[in-house]
Amino acid sequence: MASAAHVQSSIPLVDIAPFLAGDRADQQRVAAAVDQACRDLGFLIITGHGVHRETLSNVQRAFRGFFALPESDKHRYAVTPDRYRGYVPCAAETFAQSLGRETPPDLRESYVVGPVDTPSDEYHRGPQGSRYFTPNLWPAEPATVRPAAAEFYRELERVAGTMMRIFALGLGLPEQFFADKIDRHITILGVMYYPPVARQPEAGQLRSGEHTDYGSLTMVYTDTDAGGIEVLTPERRWLRVPYVPDAFIVNLGDLMAEWTNDRWVSTLHRVGLPEPHELHRDRLSVIFFHQPNYDAVIECLPTCSGAGNPPRYSRTTSGAHREAKIEKHRAAQSSAA
């Protein structure tokens, strides 16, 4: 049986295993639970995804090893303006600037990985695709980073495909509706390391400032309950997402909200500071920012408009949508500099 329960709060917990192994009635129950969560909050926690604990442990251990390296070693793999792959130093980004808000830099460092197993063909390497399929930059140490990250990416690719099938049924569409729109997706994997808070933060400073995500869905694996994601509820209060071991936190991005004509919501969220007695505790999160194929057409889904509810957004593509979001963020950063 599919289940949607509340875990220490109003964040829905959904077991998706019945969708993978059950009959059509089980699949519909899972889809209905996900649909309700996406309407109400745009956040849920999923279990039953089938990713082995060893895969989760390997990626966690590998990147903890990388972030423990001396700063000079990590900077050898720093991102550049023309290649958003590799290392981003602590306090180098401010997520709230994507909303035009001026806040102190975020207290995190990160490592960015793009698609793996990319074919060398015109679609992926040609003038249009090359910006989205930039080769990854892999650190020499620890040697485990590349295989662990690639394995995790492939597994989350599979889970994202399952979630998009669930999304389709929840939206009253054929189960495979999104399949040809995500088979060459441009997803970014971001590994976020939040170090212990060694000194008093600046006023308004967080581990990650308030923001919404850009794409179709985001999946987050984290390894502790110290600090964590906080979601702004419809009642305008910040709600901490509870820690569920081996589960994934799932939230919608702006693209999916627009695709569904705002039937589903892309919710403002942030990563808060640990409680005062836990400031010594660090946190590592591995985040899969799922984004459809760059040429996938994004326009109001056929089940999301009708009499009195016309389409609210112009037709675009996944790539153009992401580029517009990035340019807006860069413009905000430039004006704040």
| Domain regions of the chain by residue span | 10-336
Assign domain 10-336 to a CATH class. Answer: mainly beta
Close Cβ partners of 253 (under 8 Å, ≥ 6 residues apart)? 212, 213, 214, 215, 216, 217, 218, 266, 289, 290, 291
Letter string b/e over residues 235-247, b meaning 16 or more CB atoms within 10 A of that residue's CB = eeeebebbbbeeb
Which pLDDT band, with edges at 50, 70 and 90, does 256 fall under?
A: very high
Task: Note if the pTM is more than 0.85.
Answer: yes
* pLDDT, tens only, 105-142: 888 899 999 999 999 999 999 999 999 999 999 999 99
86: left (phi over 0), alpha (psi -120 to 50) or beta: left
- Cα 214 to its chain centre, rounded Å, is 9
330 pLDDT above the threshold of 70: no
